[in-house]
Chains A and B, each alone.
Chain A
Amino acid sequence: MSKNFEQKDRVVIRFAGDSGDGMQLTGTRFTETSALFGNDLATLPDFPAEIRAPAGSLAGVSAFQLQFSSQDIHTPGDEPDVLIAMNPAALKVHLEDLPKGGYLIVNENAFTKKNLKFAGYEENPLEDGSLDSYSLFSIKMSEMVKHSCEGLDLTPKLVDRTKNFFALGVCFWMFDRPLDPTIKFLEKKFGKRPELVEANTKALNAGFNYGETAEIFTTRFKVDKAELPPGKYRNVTGNLATCIGLAAAAEKSDIPLFYGGYPITPASDILHQLAAWRNFGIKTFQAEDEIAGIASAIGAAFAGNLAVTASSGPGIALKGEALGLAVIAELPLVIVNVQRGGPSTGLPTKTEQSDLFQAMYGRNGDAPIPIIAAQTPGDCFYAAYEASMIAVKYRTPVILLTDGYLANGSEPWKIPDVDSLETFSANYMKNSNGDSFQPYERDKETLARPWAIPGTPELEHRIGGLEKEDITGNVSYDPVNHHTMTVMRAEKTANIVKHIPDTPVYGESGGDLLILTWGGTYGAARSAAETLLDDSMKIGHCHLRWVNPLPKDLGEILIKFKNILIPEINYGQLIKMIRAEYLVDAKGLNLVRGRPYSAGEIVHAAKELV
């Protein structure tokens, strides 16, 4: 039977299965292969907080969506074109997102009475006609891998575990992707257990060959390489990019990197990654709790390191008092908050943008901290680099906001040239030239105080959490001085606005509607803006990287539009800051579901407003 190639600009695939089915690995393999092939792409891993919820249960469904394209794309896609459901629970959870006519590939062997009942199906949907409106490919994957692995010295359980690679093989066939990178990956991953390499490779090949020979598929798809700016690329997740950014900042500035932190989802990968880079001289310290994580970082900053701590909302809450200490001590410090659903433990593995207020105001006293928010997984590199640079240059804690979606999502990232990165240095205070040293005497331009680190002769001094006297840094309870220092701290943060370049506005520079975003909502909003502009609407998209201070030109941008729409994954935070600061009647889009917006939702909200 002849198989035709159909050309597509972009395709969205969603792999869904039980937590034990290896969907994250399968999705990552498809991603890496597509990245190497040259597509632009964006990913959305979506997994439960439970390590292993009961097999076959709805709670245990884990999914990985990616969009890959021959064009420049910004999101992991709204609705999937292809849904792979490895069991009835995965079908139950994800079918509602698959448009009619969409491709549905299922592991028929998993549709047992027990699993159907567990997923809440009274009838087998593969047999009752309820899936007739989809292009259903029901494949006995478990049986297939049993055949392909015949003769290998493996338990039936291990053989069955290779079925995700069978499904991957089918997808590779459908979208004409090479198998080699995955086979190499398997050799590396299971190098010490050749039987597992062989079994998974056989399953992968079997899936690919099944597509080739079985009579059920009529069409294959071609998604050409994307026209990306020339350069060398790699695929990065946001957490990895954050780590590279921090390491790059340390290397470029020649300030040793210290990381103090405590494991927390979804920030732990930052600790894992940095801990592996000991040969860069990076010191990581898994502290006894979140407070000790930031406390050790403050100590390291006092002693002259580029100090970093990372956490997520609940952990940042615990660090609040120490953040205030970093503010009053005016020490360089980078605090990464990989935001997740809250309040309290909330939704540990789901994304949210609801810690903006926490970053802005979550401390006692007037305690301003500059805030930068990364906009894409790859931008986490630049945001981490910039946060480090500002922290050192202005001697201040800086909060870097990312989120679960950026942290675990990935995209092709153009590797920057080392020389193109802006340099900065510690500029430690050397000696007092015989004069008495004044720890709170400031640089006139940055308002930064000197960084005089222990071990430097003649600069012995004491700092602390009690109010400081201007210039001397001695303890002071003087009312006028307290006011002076409060204003000084506010001005020092506001002064960072000098560093922020003019804000680009995408699309129209004035008109009916401005979509204003921050953080991980960038991608969906940019896609939405493209759609709206294609519809000849007079709209613009403005994205904020620095949230505190706000860019100096933002007010002028806002007044050029009749309407302002602020989509954010919280119940209205940036919008309150914007309304308070600029007295504009901005409208919010606030769906707080633990997942990113689709571009379609923003398009819809924009059309409603205009």
Chain B
Amino acid sequence: MEVKMISKKSIKNKVSGTQNYLTTWIKSFSGSLTIFCLIILSFLPFFSQDRAYVSYFIPQFTFFFIYAIFAASWDIATGLAGQANFGQSIFFGLAGYIGGALIIEMGVPSWIAIIIAVIGATFIGFLVGIPALKIKGPYLMLVTLVLSFIILRVLATSHSGPPLYGYEGISGLPKLNPNPIIEYFILFISLIVCFIIMMSISKSKLGTILRSIRDDEIGSEASGINTMKYKLIAFMLCALFSGLAGIYFGLHYQTVNPAGNLSMTISFLAIIMAALGGIGTIRGSLVGAFFYVFLEFVLVEIGLDMDVVHIVFSIILLLVIRFASRGLLAPLLDRLRDLWDVLLGR
């Protein structure tokens, strides 16, 4: 009886604790900012019925959601756990291939294909993570980079048609939803769920352990942490979320091919978005992805070639790493918070 009483009490405490936490969070600066952004994003598709707006401007936000998940997943392995991973396109592209092949060859419904693709990507993350147990620092980064080249080359030089689909890749995939607004909301909710999970991982004990491995691997091993297990977990988490982003990306474009889904540019995008927002701060990827998608949108609207756009971004990446290695989010938030405090008269 006593045990039951205690557990009831603790549950009650926990519930009210969460409530308290939520209320203080909403009143706090970052909480109110988040709520503000969420409200704007959830009403955004209804601002205009204009066709160009719905079918051209709204999909930019769809990209933003996909890229934000993707960049944050890179941040888990590299920023949080310190396992430099330059082969992010492996998980992104192969998840798209797995899901696409299932849909085209077996006629599996999209949502089941998404689930299987994510599981497949997680398994690939496990496989890639195994050498990471032994290989460190620059070597790991090179192994992942080369692995992505090899997979790209094997897929691009294979024969068209199953099982590897050749240079053309898989095309004719169904859209997530023919209506761009519904697609927008599916991805919006996915983004919220993914970020809640990733932020809570980052704040939980697991996140602390991963950070300790990043900062001092020998030290954390000496204090009884099974570094092998947690490094594998970091890789699998990273693969899980980038696999989700990858299959969404494939379904959005309705095609999966080596050049578009597996090239080094994809890994580069993840790195630039995470670095723009600040490496190691999961939520920075949101700012980075937003900045990337809309600067790209503007530059393409001006009439620049896609290659020139990438040159601009590589220069931005050079400048950000060189002069603002904390990323853009943290200084931006500091300034905003000062302003907020001034406004509230604190």
A, B bound: no
Q: What residues of chain A have their CB less than 8 Å away from a CB belonging to chain B?
A: none
